[in-house]
Structure 1
Amino acid sequence: MLSVSLTVPVSVQYTVPFPLATITSVYASAASDLESIELAIPTVTNDNDFIRFSASAELLEATMSYYSLLAVQATATQPEVMSSAAEQAAEASAVTNQLVRKTSFYSGNRPSLGGNLALLIVFSLFLILQMVFGVASHQWWFFVCFSTGIFLEVLGYTGRIWSHYDLRSFNAYVMQLVCITLAPCFLMAGIYYSLAQLTVIMGQHFSILKPMQYSLFFIICDLIAIVLQGAGGAIASSELSNHHSTRGGSNVMVVGLAFQVASMTLYQVLWFIFCYRCFRSKRRYGDSIFADKYADIRRRRLFVAFFFILTLAVILIFIRSLYRLTEMVEGFSGKLANDELDFMVLEALMVSLASFLLTVVHPGFAYGFHIAIEIEKGLKSSFSWKKEHYRYVKRDRDLAQDTAGQSTVSAEDNLGANIDLSSNAIDSEKYPPDEAGSSKSAYALKKELSREHTREASGSH
């Protein structure tokens, strides 16, 4: 069947826009398709098929009217006949365009072949690299999540290329809609687990949550968002196939996207708190304040860069999620849903940049290949809420305050209550020494500082 997916000129074209051979060919094809539909309509028993065939017949009739007027214009020899045919063709083209927008997806705006093909190639390359790096580095969770997300992007842009050739294809439209909408959820699932790993590498006491709590909480949030968005897509697909309003499906997708945006906002708050505590402690005390077991990882050249890459990737996906949320609030017929420039900048560019960053600076490059980062996965421990790790943060603040005050405290004073461990300068019950994992905790540093000042004071006497 003829796919009339391109809009036609609506202004008066005194010069025929197509060669006569093309005009004749399109008219003949439309006439043949219309004849087939007219023969099929009497045998149709399904209401949806009847609506679809009737809409197609109406569009084909408008198309034939437009191209027949172009044929008159192309073959006319008298100027007044040519002018009249051109004006009537402009009116017919307006009717045709209106029908195209009514019966086609994307409001009749054909997705760009070049842009979507380029994105398909880019994401296919990312997928191959992620699979290679994932297997080589043994970062299995990140490998599965990112590979799944990028594979969905590949399917989504395949659907958009399909739509380029057939704007009225229901399957192509749903394919790109569902896949591109869900893909970033899987990308974020990989990022969430990375925060759990970094919490172990740096030290649990710099984090508000335990390592596995990040994974459990945010991945559960991600699953809820995936289910809601997938359900919304399924409802919208059903509504589209039945020629009903898609408002119900888009509303469910709005809830899913809003939930995703909310969970990403919370994640960013926790992430920035974690980063602030780590960099503050690094600046004040050096690397010895962190977990000794993973010191080799922290010395890797790309490890610090990985913090910034992860931050930027989350921000990019967050911008994309805000765009999608706004798009779904408007509905499938809204401006954002059918403006490819907005889509290319706020969806395609954001996700492709995030994928690029976490492919070039893969966790395997940041941690090292074949590195096992031990995250306690016991349910009892994961769901328990203990405050021991907050003590270490408080202890760091105490140390910073004491260190800042050393320049104003005399040697004699240092023999007194300020640094004498026996006079409760450090409350060992309130701030117990670190468990295994830090080679030189804030507690140990403070003890060394106290002994040093004690020796200096003794020497002065």
Structure 2
Amino acid sequence: MQNLQSYIDGLPVQLQTKVSALTSFPSLTETIPTTVASYATITSILQQARANQISAYHALQVVTNSVSTISLVNDIIQAQATVQYYSYLEEAATATNSAVKASLMTEAVRASEVMFDMFNDEAFYKGNYPSLGGNIALLVVYSFFFALQVISGVFYHQWWFLTCWSCGMALEVLGYVGRIWSHENIQNFDAFVMQLVCLTLAPCFMMAGIYYVIAQLTLIFGQKFSVLRPMQYSLIFIICDIISIILQAVGGGVAAGALSVYQSTQQGSNIMVGGLAYQVFTIALFQFFWYLFFFRVYRSYKKHGDAEFNPDFAHIRQRKFLIPFICAVSFAVVLIFVRSIYRLIELAEGWSSTLAVDEIYFMILEALMVSLASCVLSFMSPGLAYGRHSHIYLDKSLKATFSKHYTAGEQDSSNEKDVSLNSDGLDLETEDNNDDAAFYETHNGSNMNSGGGYQFDDQRTHVDDPYEHGANNA
């Protein structure tokens, strides 16, 4: 032990404390075992521990970086604790005097306490192995949802929602791969960081997909029921989501870097807590706008029926899956909100808190919440609600995003603007519906629908200025 001390000068104090702990056992609290493992087994383990200790000593003499030094010192300490424990068992296995055997077993139990404390200090999850069966089941579930999101997004052409939720599902899959990996080796640093970062960030991408949904629904029902313009929802909340992702990723990186060199992870944890707190605030604010919008929609529907809504999307509002989809989104947001609050409290209390190390809380407040949210929006997707051929065009120009609300009778004063065409030759930027109508009358033919929009032969509804339609019906 004296030789070892010469190597640990300048290393973290925690490691030096572990060295002294080997010679000052804690008080006896465990029951003395009445049976001893076979002598051959004890001898084999003892020889292996001594070999590991000698190997670590030799390696320690040639390493130059502090991280490797810390790792080797820890290996030596663990080997030393193992040698002490099994040395007592070896002596007890051959002792004939019952009093001597009892004394040796008492010392072995004390040594085992030190080994257990050291293991918990070095092992992630405070020594609580992630359950293999539960995490494999969750891996299968999220893999299925990932495949379902890809199929649904491609089939219904919901590209933004597909991108966001596919990223979220992929991170969930990687997170549970990390937890399964941790079950195999609870001291694996890479596995712990992998599950921590992936599972923490995944719901951020899911919410980014939902933030686009409220913009679409604002067009479907009408701008006048909304506090913000459609793209303002997406712009504001997606930017907030990006900030939250950056804060959590940076915090995770800082904490992981400190953890790898046995330094305090408090700074990284604080950054992650800030990112999660920001996410909780963002989701709470989103829910305010979400429920306010649908309260106004519901109040209008009770008084006027469908007459006050945007006529260009009447065919979507008539679909039987629209209302269940809105309920599904509301339910999913609440679930992710509960999960985010759990994560916030967990990290605020520290990685060694009960919420952080007791898997039952993780399974209920993280795994169950996110998997249920993934389930309802995998089977009740936006494409199923809108229909495969319903094109909901969101004007993403700065003018449409930041200009004031249209009022009844107000017309756009711009006369000239750049025009870009999609693959069908449809003008996506102009606000003159007559030009597009004339284009289709010349090339494809068109007919006017009862709601005032143009229904083309590919069954897609094109809306260049949905706000004007909504305002004129006010």
Q: TM-score range by the shorter chain?
A: 0.7 to 0.9
Q: Which residue of 2 aligns with 1:87?
A: 106
Q: Within 2, Cα distance between the matches of 1:19 and 1:371? A: 74
Q: Within 1, Cα distance between the matches of 2:225 and 2:63? A: 68
- The question of whether the paired residues in 1 share the 8 Å contact of 2:229 and 2:405 is answered with no
- The question of whether the paired residues in 1 share the 8 Å contact of 2:129 and 2:186 is answered with yes
- The question of whether the paired residues in 1 share the 8 Å contact of 2:50 and 2:79 is answered with yes
Q: Read off the aligned partner of 1:60 and give its amino acid letter.
A: A
Three-state SS of the structure 2 residue aligned to 1:249 is: helix
Q: Which residue of 1 aligns with 2:125?
A: 106
Gapped regions of structure 2 (runs ≥ 5): 1-27, 411-466
Q: Within 2, Cα distance between the matches of 1:367 and 1:28? A: 69
- The question of whether the paired residues in 1 share the 8 Å contact of 2:223 and 2:470 is answered with no
Three-state SS of the structure 2 residue aligned to 1:43 is: coil
TM-aligned CA deviation for residue 51 of structure 1: 1.4
**Deviation by residue 1:288-315 (Cα, 9 ceiling, x = unmatched):** 3212222222222221011111111111
Three-state SS of the structure 2 residue aligned to 1:436 is: helix
- The question of whether the paired residues in 1 share the 8 Å contact of 2:223 and 2:229 is answered with yes
Identical pairs, percent: 49
Q: Read off the aligned partner of 1:436 and give its amino acid letter.
A: H
- The question of whether the paired residues in 2 share the 8 Å contact of 1:16 and 1:70 is answered with no
Q: Within 2, Cα distance between the matches of 1:123 and 1:242? A: 33
TM-score, with structure 2 as normaliser: 0.77
Q: Which residue of 2 aligns with 1:286?
A: 305
Three-state SS of the structure 2 residue aligned to 1:216 is: helix
Q: Within 2, Cα distance between the matches of 1:24 and 1:99? A: 22
1:317 correspondence with 2:350: no
1:436 correspondence with 2:469: yes
Q: Quick one: which of 367, 371, 376 aligns to 1:348? A: 367
Q: Within 2, Cα distance between the matches of 1:330 and 1:105? A: 16
Q: Which residue of 2 aligns with 1:450?
A: none
Q: Which residue of 1 aligns with 2:116?
A: 97
Three-state SS of the structure 1 residue aligned to 2:61 is: helix
- The question of whether the paired residues in 2 share the 8 Å contact of 1:137 and 1:371 is answered with no
Q: Which residue of 2 aligns with 1:169?
A: 188
Q: Which residue of 2 aligns with 1:159?
A: 178
CA shift in 2, pair 1:65/1:229, >3 Å: same
CA shift in 2, pair 1:270/1:21, >3 Å: farther
TM-aligned CA deviation for residue 246 of structure 1: 0.5
Q: Quick one: which of 39, 52, 55 aligns to 1:33? A: 52
TM-aligned CA deviation for residue 152 of structure 1: 0.5
Q: Quick one: which of 383, 400, 417 aligns to 1:364? A: 383
TM-aligned CA deviation for residue 35 of structure 1: 2.4
Matches within 5 A, 1:334-413: 334-386=353-405, 388=407
TM-aligned CA deviation for residue 76 of structure 1: 5.5
Q: Quick one: which of 313, 327, 333 aligns to 2:352? A: 333
- The question of whether the paired residues in 2 share the 8 Å contact of 1:229 and 1:253 is answered with yes
Point out the more displaced range, 334-343 or 178-187: 334-343
Matches within 5 A, 1:64-75: 64-73=83-92
Q: Which residue of 2 aligns with 1:409?
A: none
TM-aligned CA deviation for residue 350 of structure 1: 0.9
Q: Within 2, Cα distance between the matches of 1:28 and 1:284? A: 85
**Deviation by residue 1:93-126 (Cα, 9 ceiling, x = unmatched):** 1101111122222222221111211111111111
Three-state SS of the structure 1 residue aligned to 2:395 is: coil
- The question of whether the paired residues in 2 share the 8 Å contact of 1:120 and 1:154 is answered with yes
CA shift in 2, pair 1:80/1:237, >3 Å: same
Q: Within 1, Cα distance between the matches of 2:407 and 2:34? A: 81
CA shift in 2, pair 1:204/1:20, >3 Å: farther
Three-state SS of the structure 1 residue aligned to 2:405 is: coil
Q: CA RMSD in A?
A: 2.4
Q: Read off the aligned partner of 1:360 and give its amino acid letter.
A: F
Q: Within 2, Cα distance between the matches of 1:75 and 1:122? A: 53
TM-aligned CA deviation for residue 30 of structure 1: 2.9
Q: Which residue of 2 aligns with 1:459?
A: none
Q: Within 1, Cα distance between the matches of 2:407 and 2:83? A: 78
**What is the total number of aligned residue pairs between the two structures?**
390
CA shift in 2, pair 1:294/1:48, >3 Å: same
- The question of whether the paired residues in 1 share the 8 Å contact of 2:36 and 2:93 is answered with no
TM-aligned CA deviation for residue 285 of structure 1: 1.7
Q: Quick one: which of 239, 246, 259 aligns to 2:278? A: 259
TM-aligned CA deviation for residue 82 of structure 1: 4.5
CA shift in 2, pair 1:47/1:385, >3 Å: same
**Deviation by residue 1:209-244 (Cα, 9 ceiling, x = unmatched):** 111110000000000001111111111111112221
CA shift in 2, pair 1:353/1:18, >3 Å: farther
- The question of whether the paired residues in 2 share the 8 Å contact of 1:16 and 1:73 is answered with no
Q: Quick one: which of 157, 160, 172 aligns to 1:141? A: 160
Point out the more displaced range, 322-331 or 76-85: 76-85
Q: Quick one: which of 142, 147, 150 aligns to 1:131? A: 150
Q: Within 2, Cα distance between the matches of 1:140 and 1:312? A: 22
TM-aligned CA deviation for residue 74 of structure 1: 5.4
Three-state SS of the structure 2 residue aligned to 1:288 is: coil
Q: Within 2, Cα distance between the matches of 1:129 and 1:63? A: 50
Q: Which residue of 1 aligns with 2:423?
A: none
TM-aligned CA deviation for residue 284 of structure 1: 2.1
Q: Within 2, Cα distance between the matches of 1:186 and 1:123? A: 15
CA shift in 2, pair 1:132/1:241, >3 Å: same
TM-aligned CA deviation for residue 73 of structure 1: 4.9
Gapped regions of structure 1 (runs ≥ 5): 1-8, 392-433, 444-461
Q: Within 2, Cα distance between the matches of 1:37 and 1:437? A: 75
TM-aligned CA deviation for residue 352 of structure 1: 0.9
Q: Within 1, Cα distance between the matches of 2:388 and 2:135? A: 34
